[in-house]
């Protein structure tokens, strides 16, 4: 089985001078990427990191992110992918849980100073021995630019490369869990390459394609469905630092991009940009929508504004290392609206009941996926790993679907409480646990409710502590200081009671039914 470093080496030999990445006005060829990642890998080894260690990356979609990822992959160091929107509660937990030994980090983003933040936090994450800043760091930290080794120790580097196995973890991506504690998904060299290759083969992506890499690199949508696909197909990726409609529109127009991927919310934002009409999007031949089904109105807009593009759905999870179910390129718009597609590559799918027994065609049940793209499991969580990943190789997704006679999968809903807001998976229990830690809150219950723009948004019902009268803004600000901004409740409702079962468990189904009923009556 091949490793990520092998695929980069093959691409470098095949098209050394071809641009792999274009970032603003910078271009880096396959040869330049290979050389830069060798130098950084050498530097990481000289600083004491080795195969099996973990290095975290907290940065935007930028060249330094990918150089670190490929350098680490070459010598078997696992990357822990973090989101720049994470704050203290998430970062402290993840860095400690993942036993991170080094952190590559930007110094500032959107007014938040990460250098100052980690200078104060580092005593709480004792495993992190090296803080490497892209920009200004604190006293005692390292500069990313100084980490590149000027004297390449080829013997040491080649020895480290040989030790890397296809089953080694390449990247760990955290996904929120039903307990409120995020789970670290261990994606291996084998699994990420399998998912990427399945997508390349399914859509016949070639070295002539120009791919917009605008989905976050700390998510499989970015690192697998954009970057790994680019690498395997020997195409070119246009790196978008973070999603902003104008940046994406300019990139498609200027570089004549052929493939664009985004969640429905992103498409809405593109088409709603006030200067949208001044950009040309006719070069796009493949418009990929992930995260949720595309409603008819958005389908019509994509057909109108990207007239040469085939619209397809993408379904995937961190646990499947990326895409595992996609529309066929020949599917009609009606099929794209009704289904999420068919299994791709060597992925297999089945639908099971609560006892994990197969259900008949057309019946509703839980989707299970099997294939080389399935991740290794959850880091330091054997119980959840055994529950989700079976010995037979099946991944139980927790998503409710049905399978039709032609092998197409129809998404019906979620078995778990998770909702997807603007492409981000959110489990209410994490936010509920934080809200109930507030001295003015007694009980918190969150649900995802439909939203025209974001797909779903969080609505949280609060029973105040006796004698207390918290305000909605007060609780939102409490969340903002401790959580990624996309997890902050969009709506907080104060109530005297919530529906419960005889055993005292909150009945969120009834909360949602009541909300939906009230919306229909308006």
The domain ranges of the chain are 28-165, 190-414, 431-521
**Is residue 413 scored above 80 in pLDDT?**
no
The full 3-state SS of 408-434, as one line of letters, equals CEEEEEECCCCEEECCEEECHHHHHHH
- CATH architecture for the domain at 431-521: 2-Layer Sandwich (3.30)
Q: What is the pLDDT of residues 257-300, one digit of tens each?
A: 999 999 887 888 899 899 999 999 999 999 999 866 677 778 88
Query: Which of 88, 101, 94 minimizes the C-alpha distance to 128?
Result: 101
Length of the chain: 522
Say yes or no: do domains 28-165 and 431-521 share a fold: no
CA separation for the pair 346, 330 (Å, rounded): 20
CA separation for the pair 473, 333 (Å, rounded): 42
**Is residue 505 scored above 80 in pLDDT?**
no
Q: Among the CATH numbers 1.10.3720.10, 3.40.50.12780, 3.40.50.150, 3.20.20.140, which is that of 190-414?
A: 3.40.50.12780
The class of domain 28-165 in CATH terms is alpha beta
In percent, the amount of the chain with pLDDT more than 70 equals 97
Structural tokens at position 459: 């609505």
Eight-state DSSP code of residue 224: I
CA separation for the pair 424, 510 (Å, rounded): 24
Q: What is the pLDDT of residues 302-326, one digit of tens each?
A: 999 999 999 999 999 999 999 999 9
Mean pLDDT of the chain: 93
Q: What is the pLDDT of residues 61-73, one digit of tens each?
A: 999 999 999 999 9
DSSP state letters, 167-219: TSEEEEEEE--TTSS-EEEEEEHHHHHHHHHHHHHHHT--TT-EEEE-S-TTS
Q: Which pTM was predicted?
A: 0.87
């Amino acid at each position: 089985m091949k490793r990520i470093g092998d695929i980069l080496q093959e691409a470098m030999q095949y098209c050394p001078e071809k641009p792999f990445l274009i970032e603003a006005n910078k271009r880096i060829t396959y040869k330049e990427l290979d050389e830069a990642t060798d130098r950084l890998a050498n530097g990481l080894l000289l600083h004491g990191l080795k195969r099996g260690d973990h290095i975290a990356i907290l940065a935007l979609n930028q060249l330094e992110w990918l150089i670190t990822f490929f350098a680490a992959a070459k010598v078997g160091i696992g990357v822990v992918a973090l989101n720049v929107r994470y704050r203290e509660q998430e970062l402290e937990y993840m860095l400690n849980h993942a036993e991170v030994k080094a952190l590559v980090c930007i110094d500032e983003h959107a007014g938040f100073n990460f250098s100052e933040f980690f200078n104060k936090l580092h005593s709480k994450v004792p495993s992190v021995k090296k803080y490497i800043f892209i920009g200004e760091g604190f006293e005692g930290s390292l500069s990313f630019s100084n980490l590149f080794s000027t004297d390449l120790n080829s013997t040491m580097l080649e020895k480290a490369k040989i030790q890397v196995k296809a089953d080694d973890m390449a990247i760990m991506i955290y996904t929120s869990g039903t307990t409120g504690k995020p789970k670290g998904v261990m994606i291996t060299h084998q699994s990420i390459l399998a998912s990427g290759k399945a997508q390349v083969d399914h859509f016949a992506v070639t070295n002539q394609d120009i791919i917009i890499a605008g989905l976050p690199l700390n998510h499989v949508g970015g690192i697998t469905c954009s970057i790994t696909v680019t690498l395997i197909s020997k195409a070119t990726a246009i790196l978008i630092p973070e999603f902003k409609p104008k940046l994406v529109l300019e990139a498609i127009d200027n570089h004549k991009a052929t493939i664009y991927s985004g969640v429905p919310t992103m498409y809405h934002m593109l088409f709603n940009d006030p200067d949208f009409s001044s950009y040309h999007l006719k070069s796009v031949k493949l418009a990929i929508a992930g995260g949720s089904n595309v409603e008819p109105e958005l389908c019509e807009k994509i057909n109108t504004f990207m007239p040469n593009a085939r619209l397809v759905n993408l379904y995937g999870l961190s646990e499947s290392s990326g895409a595992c179910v996609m529309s066929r390129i020949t599917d009609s718009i009606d099929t794209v609206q009704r289904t999420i597609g068919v299994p791709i590559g060597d992925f297999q799918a089945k639908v099971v009941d609560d006892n994990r027994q197969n259900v008949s065609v057309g019946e509703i049940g839980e989707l299970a996926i099997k294939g080389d793209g399935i991740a290794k499991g959850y880091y330091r969580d054997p119980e959840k790993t055994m529950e989700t990943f079976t010995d037979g190789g099946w991944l139980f997704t927790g998503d409710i679907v049905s399978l039709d006679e032609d092998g197409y999968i129809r998404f019906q809903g979620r078995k778990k409480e998770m909702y997807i807001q603007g492409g981000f998976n959110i489990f209410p229990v994490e936010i509920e646990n934080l809200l109930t830690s507030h001295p003015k809150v007694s009980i918190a219950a969150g649900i995802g409710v439909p939203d025209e723009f974001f797909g779903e948004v969080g609505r949280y019902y609060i029973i105040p502590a006796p004698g207390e009268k918290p305000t909605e803004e007060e609780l939102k600000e409490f969340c903002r200081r401790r959580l990624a901004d996309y997890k902050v409740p969009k709506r907080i409702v104060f109530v005297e009671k919530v529906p419960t079962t005889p055993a005292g468990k909150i009945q969120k189904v009834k909360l949602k039914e009541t909300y939906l009923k009230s919306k229909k009556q308006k």
